[in-house]
Amino acid sequence: MFDNLMHKFDGIIKKARGEVTFSEANVKRILRDVRLALLEADVNYKVVKDFTRQVKEKVMGKEVLESLSPAQHFVKIIHQEITRILGGESQSMVFSPEPPTVIMLVGLQGAGKTTLTAKLALYLRKRNKAAYLVPADVYRPAAIEQLKVLARQIDVPYFPAKENMAPLAICKQAVKEARDSGFDVVILDTAGRLHINEELMQELRRIRGSLSPSEILYVADSMTGQDAVTSAKAFDQELDVSGIVLTKVDGDARGGAALSIKSVVGKPIKFVSIGEKLNELEVFYPERMASRILGMGDMMSLIEKAQSSFDEKQAMEMQHKIRKSSFTLEDFYQQMQQIKKLGPLDRIMESIPGMNRMMNLKGGQAMADEKELKKIEAIILSMTPEERQHDKIIDKGRKLRIARGSGTTIADVNKLLKQFTLSRKMMKKILPFGKKGKIKDLFKLLQ
């Protein structure tokens, strides 16, 4: 996510750290690098111009805190300004005082509206909101069927629309059924086009006028850069959208759309879609995203994800086992499966402050290797249940059998057993810092 921009800012910050004081000349030189980094990231030119002007004014100002060095002050200002152009503060969803709340998703074809409909329903269900999905795109082949498949996949009800029905009729009938059935939210998956045209806008205006949705969310493909910003502005002028959802953010190495869209359109980014899985939708926090871009990580998002993914009862049982020194390789394997629920390992590492730099060693080899985890899994799964419970019984003959069964070497098996022993000792030392198995305390210790 925004990988190119992160690397550029990493280099800029290193240069800034080399400056003892800031003068007109060196600030101008550093800001030239900032300007080029943002333009190469496909950030809107006017946004870049405003950004660099604001940074220069604050860096050359007199309000440097005594507790900060000039370089730290520079990074603090850059962080503040990125946060500002991203929207400043997170904007929560607006819900109707009388259910159902109607959420209307709009945007161009291919931006990911239909998948987002299911993602949003799953997100709302985790917050005790029952959603009703409405396939209102009767033009794109199989669009209705696609939403039905996704709805069944997450076990969420949907309106049984037919392709011969008019979109407005579908939406009105669906909202009535949702109200009669007691649903909290209705999500309208409206039609898109490959480009903006008057026929599409008329249809969307009719739906908006008839149903008065609480939220009109423009769905933007972040990988299309300034095209997404231009389209968002056009949709906002026609429909007065309430917010923006950026999709395919995980594949966007530049970040131009995210850094431009709030300033240009004037509407907040409310969600970001960070992967293909239906649970990979996050609330957009400008300050956290600014921290990610500057390589500072995003511990809060990682903590929240961990607390929602980890089984609290299982965590308490693990804590008891660690205290009693009965933590086994079977338990170790179960913990690995829990961590995998948080997402790809490189994305987890990216959220930990400073880890992004550590992951990029010479030759581009990452410290966090998914292949290594698969190897560990293969070794543990090649052990007998007794060996997983009592690792001390694994002698040379057993190691040879385990290595053959997992397609590894005896050296790999020895390495795992050594790492496991060290991990068990470390966890026993860390445990007193935790309270009731809260993951937050563990992260505080490791920062």
Give the pLDDT score at 436: 41
Among 242, 247, 184, which Cα is nearest to 214's?
Answer: 242
CATH class as words, domain 302-446: mainly alpha
Indicate the range of 64-68, 310-314, 438-442 predicted with least confidence: 438-442
Q: Where are the alpha helices (H) located in 266-324, listed in sequence order?
A: 286-293, 299-309, 312-323
pLDDT (0 to 100) of residue 365: 42
Confidence of residue 311 (pLDDT cuts 50, 70, 90): low
- Asked whether the CA dihedral 378, 384, 386, 390 is positive or negative, the reply is negative
CB 261 within 8 A of CB 284: no
Return d(Cα 111, Cα 108) in angstroms, integer: 6
Q: Is 105 helix (H, G, I), strand (E, B) or coil?
A: strand
Beta carbons within 10 angstroms of residue 300's beta carbon? 15
Is the pLDDT at 433 greater than 50? The verdict is no
Give the bridge partners for 271, in sequence order: 245, 283
256-274: average pLDDT: 89
Rounded Cα gap, residues 116 and 277, in angstroms: 10
Per residue in 121-179, pLDDT tens? Answer: 999 998 899 999 999 998 888 889 999 999 999 999 999 988 888 999 999 999 999 99
- CATH homologous superfamily of 101-294 equals P-loop containing nucleotide triphosphate hydrolases (3.40.50.300)
Strands (E) in 236-391, as ranges, are: 243-247, 269-273, 281-283
CA 334/CA 381 separation, integer angstroms: 11
pLDDT confidence of residue 61: 65
pLDDT attached to residue 354: 47
Tokens of 86: 């991203």
- Token match 């004037």: residue? 266
Q: 255: pLDDT confidence band, cut at 50, 70 and 90?
A: confident
Q: What is the pLDDT of residue 340?
A: 65
pLDDT digits (tens, 9 = 90+) for 219-254: 999 888 888 899 999 999 999 999 999 998 887 777
- pLDDT tens-digit readout, 7-36: 888 888 887 777 667 777 888 888 899 899
Looking at the DSSP bridge assignments, the partners of residue 272 are: 246, 282
Distant-in-sequence, close-in-space partners of 434: CB < 8 Å, separation ≥ 6:
319, 441, 442
Domain limits, the chain: 3-86, 101-294, 302-446
pLDDT in tens, 104-116: 999 998 889 999 9
Helices 226-239, 256-265: inter-axial angle, 10-degree rounding: 30
Pairing of strands 243-247, 215-221: parallel
Distance CA 242, CA 120 (A): 16
Higher pLDDT, 253 or 346: 253
Number of neighbouring beta carbons within 10 Å of residue 128: 7
Whole-number average pLDDT of the chain: 80
Domain 101-294 and domain 302-446, same fold? Reply is: no
Is the pLDDT at 63 greater than 90? The verdict is no
Cα dihedral 250, 252, 254, 256 in deg (nearest 10): -110
Instruction: Please report, rounded to a whole number, the percentage of residues in the chain having pLDDT higher than 70.
Output: 77
Q: Is the pTM of this model over 0.85?
A: no
Burial of 125 (0-12, 13-18, 19+ CB in 10 A): middle
Peptide bond into 99 cis (omega under 30): no
Res 292: pLDDT:
78
Determine the angle formed by the axes of helices 329-340 and 410-430, rounding to 10 degrees: 80
State how far the alpha carbon of 73 is from the alpha carbons of 16, 255, 397, in Å: 10, 24, 60
Q: Where do we find the tokens 């696609």?
A: 146
pLDDT attached to residue 319 = 59
User: How far apart are the C-alpha atoms of 351 and 438, rounded to whole Å?
Assistant: 18
268-283 burial, b at 16+ Cβ within 10 Å, e below that, comes to: bbbbbbbbeebbbbbb
Distance CA 100, CA 141 (A): 29
Domain range 3-86, CATH class: mainly alpha
Q: How far apart are CA 13 and CA 31, in angstroms?
A: 11
Higher pLDDT, 294 or 185: 185
CA 30, 33, 37, 43: dihedral to nearest 10 degrees?
80
Q: What is the dihedral of CA 254, 117, 101, 241, to 10 degrees?
A: 40
